[in-house]
């Protein structure tokens, strides 16, 4: 529990300071977006991990234990700052909170 709280507070502190990720977003081509619908959960989680590393990993480590609700709240704040697409957000959510 303490690790989850620490990870959440660290993320909240970054947001409060107005810090933004350095990584540029990796937006998929339109053909890739339609393929996402047919992916399995395991494939979505793996793709979410790849997108987390590409968009978030330069500034953040993946939290070990954080609730889906907390992940969703943090992602909604970081989506604007990191210029994540809605698909990026959903795949990263699937990776962080399966």
pLDDT at 13: 45
pLDDT, tens digit (0-9, with 9 covering 90-100), for 47-94: 999 999 999 988 888 888 888 899 899 899 888 888 999 999 999 998
Task: In whole angstroms, give the CA distance from residue 13 to residue 47.
Answer: 27
Task: In whole angstroms, give the CA distance from residue 22 to residue 46.
Answer: 22
pLDDT at 49: 92
Residues in the chain: 98
User: CB-based burial of residue 12 (10 Å sphere; 0-12 exposed, 13-18 middle, 19+ buried)?
Assistant: middle
**Biggest alpha carbon distance in the chain?**
42
């Amino acid at each position: 529990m303490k690790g989850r709280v620490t990870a959440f507070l660290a993320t909240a502190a970054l947001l409060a300071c107005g810090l933004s990720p350095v990584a540029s977003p990796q937006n998929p081509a339109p053909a890739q977006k339609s393929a996402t619908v047919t992916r399995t959960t395991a494939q979505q989680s793996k793709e979410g991990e790849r997108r987390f590393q590409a968009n978030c990993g330069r500034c953040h480590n993946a939290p070990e234990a954080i609730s889906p609700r907390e992940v969703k709240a943090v992602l909604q704040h970081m989506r604007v700052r990191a210029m994540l697409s809605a698909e990026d957000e959903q795949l990263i959510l699937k990776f962080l909170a399966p």
